[in-house]
């Protein structure tokens, strides 16, 4: 710390953070847009969640229950868990950060994979710790690459499963292999933001491991399949001692009253979630096959988005495609900040938007070729 500084200076690491840039939501000049940039559900939230949210707005002058008991109980009931092992947050982002603040910090290292979610890096740096990046193999988390980077300073490892923005996943055997080889003092955070979409038989979100191990946390979100991104709700299942640590440092009322009410209603509406998962299962292969039929390389995805790769040839690049699509109101996500400058990430949307996207992508590819 420089005591001669003429103004307050953030502590080391803070200014190394590149501000998170969310997906675009509009196009210059306005007009109809299809937002395919933030992996939101086209089905919206459960009507029961919306009703609960409206009802909760009648009590805005009172503080919420700081322990979010109704929400934790509803989650615990849905998954057969002990509510004491659940901590809720203002989005899973908050929990991912709190875990770094509690377990990383100056002198410590946090590992995440090459194309992993950017919030991990921000959280590790904000804690004062050092981010360590493990390369991926075939755009998939590589357990051996992570293990090769574990040192005596490693305190936290983040794995997104399935990964964003690639859409690839690790079979649960691989997660178990990673856990078995990690020293017991390293916290393994399994981020299952897209877990509900996965239909692979060898996948699980990590619940079993978080229940049985002393150093595993599973995080989940209400922002994706539950359609409550604006309300900001996430939760984690953690060993009791980790839940205790995070409860000590979180804001005392970090989840709002309307969020508690909406989340509890959303998780009980299993039919709505199943409908969203079924819609995705129908359209995900159509988007993958449709883009491949145009000669584009598409990373196999098990989530609610696809990563489409473009050539580097001028006029045919991801940047050119982005401009072309944006002009037509189709807003996709550039993923340069994730180390993927030649790809676009596209969210599975409703039938109209998916169809419009594939038609415009075809126009772009044919125009670029011609």
Residue in the shown chain whose Cβ atom is closest to ligand PLP: 91
Q: How far is the CB of 263 from ligand PLP (least distance, A)?
A: 11
| CA–CA gap between residue 154 and residue 166 (Å, rounded) | 25
Q: How far is the CB of 363 from ligand PLP (least distance, A)?
A: 29
Q: How far is the CB of 37 from ligand PLP (least distance, A)?
A: 11
Q: How far is the CB of 142 from ligand PLP (least distance, A)?
A: 17
Residues in contact with ligand PLP by CB under 6 A are: 39, 91-93, 117, 160, 164, 191, 193, 221, 223, 229, 234
Give 13 or 162: the residue with its C-beta nearer to ligand PLP: 162
| Sign, Cα dihedral of 340, 28, 351, 294 | negative
Which residues 6+ apart lie within 8 Å of 18 measured at CB? Answer: 118, 337
Give 298 or 303: the residue with its C-beta nearer to ligand PLP: 303
First-residue to last-residue Cα distance in the chain: 60
Q: What ranges in the chain are assigned the alpha helix state H?
A: 47-56, 69-79, 92-103, 118-127, 143-148, 172-181, 207-212, 240-249, 257-268, 270-293, 318-327, 351-369
Cα–Cα distance list, 244 to 35, 76, 87, 100, 189 (Å): 39, 17, 9, 14, 16
Give 112 or 364: the residue with its C-beta nearer to ligand PLP: 112
Q: How far is the CB of 92 from ligand PLP (least distance, A)?
A: 4
| CA–CA gap between residue 219 and residue 236 (Å, rounded) | 4
Give 174 or 191: the residue with its C-beta nearer to ligand PLP: 191
Q: Smallest Cα–Cα separation from 166: which of 287, 344, 323, 362?
A: 344
Half-sphere exposure of 210 (CA within 13 A, CB side): 26
Give 255 or 261: the residue with its C-beta nearer to ligand PLP: 255
Q: How far is the CB of 230 from ligand PLP (least distance, A)?
A: 10
Cα–Cα distance list, 312 to 76, 93, 236, 287, 315 (Å): 48, 33, 41, 22, 9
Q: Smallest Cα–Cα separation from 128: which of 21, 276, 16, 279?
A: 16
Q: How far is the CB of 338 from ligand PLP (least distance, A)?
A: 11
Q: How far is the CB of 237 from ligand PLP (least distance, A)?
A: 14
| CA–CA gap between residue 346 and residue 186 (Å, rounded) | 34
Place of tokens 């910090």: 105
Give 45 or 234: the residue with its C-beta nearer to ligand PLP: 234
Q: How far is the CB of 54 from ligand PLP (least distance, A)?
A: 21
| CA–CA gap between residue 26 and residue 190 (Å, rounded) | 32
Give 93 or 109: the residue with its C-beta nearer to ligand PLP: 93
């Amino acid at each position: 710390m420089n005591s001669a500084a003429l103004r307050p200076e953030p502590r080391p690491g803070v200014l190394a953070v590149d501000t998170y840039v969310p997906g675009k939501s509009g196009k210059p000049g306005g007009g109809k847009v299809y937002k395919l940039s933030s992996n939101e559900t086209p089905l919206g939230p459960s009507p029961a969640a919306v009703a609960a949210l409206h009802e909760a707005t009648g009590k805005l002058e009172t503080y919420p229950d700081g322990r979010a008991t109704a929400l934790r109980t509803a989650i615990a009931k849905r998954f057969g868990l002990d509510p004491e092992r659940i901590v809720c947050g203002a989005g899973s982002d908050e929990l991912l950060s709190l875990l770094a603040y509690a377990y990383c910090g100056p002198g410590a290292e946090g590992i995440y994979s090459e194309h992993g979610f950017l919030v991990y890096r921000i959280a590790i740096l904000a804690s004062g710790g050092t981010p360590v990046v493990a390369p991926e193999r075939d755009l998939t988390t590589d357990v051996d690459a992570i293990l090769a980077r574990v040192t005596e300073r490693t305190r936290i490892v983040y794995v997104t499963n399935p990964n964003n923005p690639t859409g690839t996943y690790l079979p649960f055997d691989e997660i178990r292999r990673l856990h078995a080889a990690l020293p017991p003092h390293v916290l393994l955070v399994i981020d299952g933001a897209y877990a509900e979409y996965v239909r692979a038989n060898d996948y699980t979100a990590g619940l079993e491991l978080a229940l049985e191990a002393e150093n595993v946390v599973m995080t989940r979100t209400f922002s994706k399949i539950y359609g409550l991104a604006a309300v900001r709700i996430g939760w984690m299942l953690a060993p009791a001692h980790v839940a205790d640590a995070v409860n000590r440092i979180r804001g005392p009322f970090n989840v709002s009253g309307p969020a508690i009410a909406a989340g509890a209603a959303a998780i009980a509406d299993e039919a709505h979630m199943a409908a969203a998962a079924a819609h995705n299962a129908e359209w995900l292969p159509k988007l993958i096959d449709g883009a491949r039929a145009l000669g584009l390389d598409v990373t196999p995805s098990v989530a609610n988005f696809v990563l489409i790769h473009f050539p580097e040839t001028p006029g045919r690049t991801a940047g050119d495609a982005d401009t072309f699509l944006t002009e037509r109101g189709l807003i996709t996500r550039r993923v340069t900040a994730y180390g993927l400058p030649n790809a676009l990430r596209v969210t599975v949307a409703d039938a109209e938007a998916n169809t419009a996207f594939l038609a415009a992508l075809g126009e772009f590819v044919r125009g670029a070729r011609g």
